[in-house]
Amino acid sequence: MLPADPNTAVKLIPVSQFTDEQLAAIYNQTRVDYLVPMPMNAARLGEYMKTYDVSREHSLVATTYDGEMLGVNMLGLREDRAWITRLGVLPTTRRHGVGRILMESLMQNAANLSIDFMMLEVIKNNTPAHQLFLKLGFYEVGELLVLRRSPLAPAVDPIVADAQRLDRTEALVLVGHDRGTQPWTNQSESLFNAFEVSGLRLTLADGSRGWLVYQRQKFLLTRFAFKTEVGDPATVAYALLSHLHNQYPRLDTQLENIQVNDPHLSAYYKMGYVEAFRRIEMWRGTPPPSIQK
């Protein structure tokens, strides 16, 4: 157990001093009793840090001075904005201020880089973390959905349309422009950093048109970015999804951080997607123009 003043008992070590195997072990220990544990192995954690521009130098592991692991917190850095993610404290050492020390230290690391605007997400109903973030000056900006679709969902015939597959280069050109304010995980840089990114573009018989950019992993479809250029967003999105799932009928689908006011949302439900859980998106500071990407 930590002394009454955790500031005198906690040692902060940059994540860069740990291997991905060690970090995955630390992270998983902090999440064993979470509402949504989301365990990670070393390869998945390494991909996560690369995709989301997590700075190993500015992210931190908390230990005692005797080397006992206490917690971890990671900091993503892009231009004039930062993202705090994967905050976790071991169950046996919670309620002693370790989470707050980690948060304040990452916030200071961002400030040292002249970054004043920060973003994060917290699982809805994770009250202790939510209250900590509010006390640290973060404010709520909206709710985000995590959606899943099983490959066992009923098959859907592709909607008749003039459809075109897009390669990685063509797809990334599209996601770099005019998609509005996005959570960190869905910003353009996240797709730029991801592998196996492709896209679909289609025009319906009534002239409606739009595109979908996505990532295809070995057993999973993920990281969707929609844009309706002409027509009803739900209609265009449903047509795009019908072609996508007809192309990959055996793949599972998991989507992170879909905004509750996304105009394409009803198409997901019509296609058999279900809500897994919700997050609350929170910001601190004044948003810069760069988050429009």
Q: Taking residues 14-25, report their average pLDDT.
A: 97
**Pairing of β 220-230 and β 252-259:** parallel
At 292 the pLDDT is 57
More confident residue, 258 or 155: 258
Q: Which fold has domain 6-116?
A: Aminopeptidase (3.40.630)
Q: What is the mean pLDDT of residues 128-147?
A: 97
Enter the pTM of the model: 0.92
Place of tokens 């009793």: 33
Residue 176, C-beta contacts closer than 8 angstroms, at least 6 positions apart: 188, 192, 293
Give the integer Cα–Cα distance in Å for 155 and 152: 8
Give residue 6's pLDDT band: very low, low, confident or very high (50, 70, 90). low
pLDDT tens string 56-108: 999 999 999 998 999 999 999 998 999 999 999 998 888 789 999 999 999 99
**What 3-state class would DSSP assign to 86?**
strand
pLDDT at 111 over 90: yes
Give the integer Cα–Cα distance in Å for 228 and 246. Answer: 20
Give dist(CA 15, CA 26) in Å, integer.
Answer: 11
Please report how many Cα atoms fall inside a 13 Å half-sphere around the Cα of residue 237, on the Cβ side: 20
Predicted local confidence at residue 7, as pLDDT: 57
Top CATH class of 147-281 equals: alpha beta
Residue range 250-293, pLDDT digits in tens:
999 999 999 999 999 999 999 999 999 999 999 999 998 877 54
Based on its alpha-carbon atoms, the radius of gyration of the chain, rounded to whole angstroms, reads: 20
Range list for CATH 3.40.630.30 in the chain: 6-116, 147-281
- Scored b (16 or more CB within 10 A) or e, 242-267 reads bbbbeeeeebbbebbbbbeebebbeb
What tens digit of pLDDT does each residue of 213-247 get? Answer: 999 998 999 999 999 999 999 999 999 999 999 99
Report pLDDT for 96.
81
> What mean pLDDT is reported for the chain?
93
pLDDT number for residue 103: 98
Per-residue pLDDT, 34? 73
Residue 177's pLDDT is what? 75
| Residue 2 in this model has a pLDDT that exceeds 80 | no
Instruction: Say how far apart CA 181 and CA 175 lie, in whole Å.
Output: 12
Return the pLDDT at 3.
46
Instruction: Kindly state the DSSP code that residue 158 receives in the 8-state scheme.
Output: P
Task: Quickly state the pLDDT bin for 132 (edges 50, 70, 90).
Answer: very high
Distance of alpha carbon 252 from alpha carbon 163, whole angstroms:
22
Percent of the chain beyond pLDDT 90?
A: 85
Please report the pLDDT score of residue 92 as a whole number.
81
Distance of alpha carbon 183 from alpha carbon 271, whole angstroms = 23
27-31, 136-140, 201-205: which has the minimum mean pLDDT?
A: 27-31
pLDDT for res 266: 97
What is the structure's pLDDT at 8? 56
Longest distance between any two alpha carbons in the chain, whole Å: 69
The pLDDT of residue 1 is 47
CA distance 53 to 187: 11
For residue 54, the 8-state DSSP code is: B
